[in-house]
Amino acid sequence: MAAPRLLAVALLSAMACFPAQSVVAQSPTLTIAGRDSNRTYTQKALLAYPGVRSVTVADPVYRRTMTYRAIPLAELLKGTRIDSDDHVQARAVDDFSVGIPGRLAASPDAARVEAFVAIEDPAAPWPAIPGKQDKASAGPFYIIWRRAPSVYVSPEYWAYRLAALAVTDSPLKRWPGLAVGADVPTGDRIRTGLDRFVSVCMACHRFNGEGEGEQGPDLGRPMNVTEYFQIPALKKLIRNPRSVRQWPGQKMPEFDQSALSDSDVDAIVDWLTYKAKQGR
């Protein structure tokens, strides 16, 4: 009986090792890709990073003041050869993807605007994100911001459940079909609409197939959204989708005035209308 018993003990001991190995294999990591470099950090390594500090922000995702252990994003982007005209593509674990302008992500003027990567400590996990059915936190990694009141930071740039960051060309270089013609004057509301589409809408929506958004429908194909929505209803839909219609799995949030002003909504619709006329 002793031999079978010893064998059973050995098997149980071997099986007990598997969960530990699985935990190690699934430990969260953050990848940062530059023009000619690629680095990967573990959650533990970032929590022990020399530049980590406590950062307190008015958090629009948690809708209250939060304090995080965080590292300046500009510090993590050192060596990536990022230029002010470049963007940083932030990709989440669910493939949500948004391009953040390099002039903000790696801003040399921390008094005006500064981005941080916040790191969730497994020993002190963050609360669940309000309103999310999965009851998960914003971790393991989360881009947070401190800014002067005069600096606009899109709510989409508060990218949570982060998995990777990559330095890329600007959206207009990658997807020139989004651009407006040279005949549109500088400062025209159509140009503002393009800027707001790129910074707010493009994280979820493509336009005529251009972009990486997978969360919502393409706003240009097969028809431009301005061609089948009454304009007042479209503006209400952009402001608060649930005020117009509801559907299973609805993800698009309500945008308050601080995130998207009425003039911004008007500008987005002007740009969409302009693109519809271009396509005729």
pLDDT means per 10 residues, the chain with 280 residues, are 42 43 66 94 96 96 97 96 93 91 94 97 96 91 96 94 96 95 94 95 94 91 96 96 86 88 96 90
- What pLDDT is recorded for position 80? 95
Rounded Cα distance, 212 and 218, in Å? 10
Neighbours of 144 (CB within 10 A): 25
- What pLDDT is recorded for position 200? 92
- What pLDDT is recorded for position 280? 62
Confidence (pTM): 0.82
Residue type, 197: F
Neighbours of 1 (CB within 10 A): 5
Residue type, 227: E
What secondary structure letter does DSSP report for 82?
Answer: -
Tell me which residue has tokens 């740039």: 157
- What pLDDT is recorded for position 26? 67
What secondary structure letter does DSSP report for 126?
Answer: P
Q: Which residues contact 236 (CB under 8 A, 6 or more apart)?
A: 243, 244
Contact 163, 64 (CB under 8 A): no
